[in-house]
Structure 1
Amino acid sequence: MRHVLSVAVAAILASIASQGMAQERYRELPPVVVSPDLSAPWVMQLQRSPVGHQRRQPARHGLPGVEVRVAPQPIVRERARVAIAPAPDQMQTAALPSATRDAGAQIDPKFLPQTVAYDGPHGPGTIVIDTTQNLLYLVEAGGQARRYGVGTGKPGFEWAGSHKVTRKAEWPDWRPPAEMIAREKKKGRILPAHMKGGPANPLGARALYLGSTLYRIHGTNQPSTIGRAVSSGCIRMRNEDVIDLYDRVPVGAKVVVI
């Protein structure tokens, strides 16, 4: 009987020792690493704490001694975007149809529209064209004028004089004069007898007809020629510029070419 009790007591003591070793073994629990996919929303909530308020610490749940480690997130820096404001003296053309804009055309800034001082003899509403400088002035009140760059008559096609605007047309058709057709044919270039108005038409978006002559102030499908003496006598303008002039000038306006 005593032997049986001794064996039982020994078993109990062994069990107690085993439990103590197990508790000692798991006293320091291993860290738990949380996946970024699971931890990201929790981290974002912490980052949204209002400025000036103390960030609340999340409540700890689970067994004591468990340390939760959040895997580091990559830092993404967004490149700053800088908006450049347009120059105040340049005309805004964003509202124009894309077919009327000469985007990408190289032109000397001197030939872009701008307001300048004017002290000449002509009154407001008069169009003055300086063929030596390839500049057109629309005289305004208050001693100033609206200035545009133009293309003018090439050597042998220069002219000067005074006329009135007798007609205005939007996207005008082109009917080359018979003498122009014959002249270009000798050079090996065949001109059509008639071309319907449109972006490819040499007269461009608008035309102002001068007196009873064959000359016009008109747009162009070759904006790179502005500022040069290249035409057969007509006054060329960029499409966006001739639209602006067209809207400012009525039929009957005086045009002086010098």
Structure 2
Amino acid sequence: MNPIKGRFKNHLDEEMVHLHKNLYINRSDPMYYEKVIRYLDPRSPEAHYKLGQKFEAKGIVDKAIFHYKECRKTYPSPFYFASASAIRGLEGNGKGAESLPVSDFPIIYKSSSTSPRLWKIILFMILLLSVFLWGLLWGKDSITRTVSAFQLWGVGKEITYEVVDMPYIIYLTKDKPHKEIENDLYNKALDLAKTNPGQNIWLYGIASNGQNPDKKLVPLTDETQKVKAFVVAQYNSAQDQTVKIRFINTDFGKLTLAEAGANLVRTALEAYISDNGTPPDKLDKLVADYPQNYLSFIPQEIQSGSNQIVGKYDGDGGWVFDPLAKQYSDMFYPNTVENPNSHRANFERYRVVVGKSDHSLQLLAGSTLLMEKQVGLGADDATPVGSFSVLDRVKEPQGKHPNVYGSSALGMGAIALHGTNDPASIGSNLSLGCIRMTNADIEELYPFIPKGTVVFIRDNNHTGLTAATAQWNPQVFVPLGTRLPNESAKNKVFHWLG
């Protein structure tokens, strides 16, 4: 993993790692080691060891053991013996502990009849000594005959039984006492185990909306349903002494409104530094006229209701901007006193994911879903699959024909995400390749897509993301009485596919 090398030194070079072409990751990224495995080296012992430590700290034993074992597949490595020690500790002390299900990793049973290693070594040394003595007695020719006739004592055998995962959905009343929910899951798991001995039984409890009042089980056929579960039970009668039940905190991982506002600006700062090499001396440079309109406005800090910018933290409201900081979370953060020890939240950049199969568009901040809209796509599969950066943020864009791009557009090279005056085309494949939204939807989305935001276009959009907080309302971020930039491109004509 090599740091960025270039003609001009960037103050964040030491934190960035070059993966492939124009793809980089930041060492401070909370998903750094997951991305190393996904994009750079799926066998990286360091990444697997670090992820094992991460899941061990969270109490997710199955995932921790999986990554430690993956680490040990590479020998020698600095993490080989440390991962072996961690596995012994987890397998020795984790029996019966509750853990989050990891259906992606098959559970296997192993039995071994191999002789102890030390005993094999002793026998082997005795054989070598015997061969040497035979050679002394019978000469060189006798040694050759003895060695050629020598047979190993035997080869051990290892037997593996693969286990089938049997996932089910069970609809439950979420506001029932936990004890009753536990009993329902416990009884269902035991009933299934009687008819399916030795198999992994998974029960995903989903809050009932009038379905299945008698708690009948439904086989899980759609993996995306797992993210809706508020409780999970797992049991294997051949392995487990207990039915493992885990209640999931469905609010875990959601951004607060303050974090959402901070990460909007941080996403724009990242793009500005990528384009110019250094941070702006003032945040006003992010809210310039087209084509330097990285943002449409500096959002209000929710708790204080202010978007004033100060250079040093004092808790008086608004934001702190420190262009000399190395981390984006230290460069821009809320200037509030409600939680002074954690006012610098992690940087979770804004991004857009478009799913072609269901004509969906999702606005995300990290793993939190902030907004979801329907879109229209290209006829004959003309909308390409891949990742694209927003290069132009334009109001009232002009094309070869009047109003062809609607009220606003986000240009991404040959294609754009833009409005349309043909709302009937939304949910269909009628464009020449661009992504269409109604004018009302693009106007709501546009202010929250900074210049440089990455748009991922996929065949399927099963992200399994944390839902947006119920407090999310884009309008609360827009400051009143602030001068907005001129984001029209005047007489420039754009030639997106349309």
* Same fold by TM-score greater than 0.5: no
- Structure with the larger helix share: 2
Q: Which has the higher contact order (CA 8 A, sep 6+)?
A: 1
Greater Rg, structure 1 or structure 2? 1
What is the TM-score when the length of structure 2 is the normalising length? 0.22
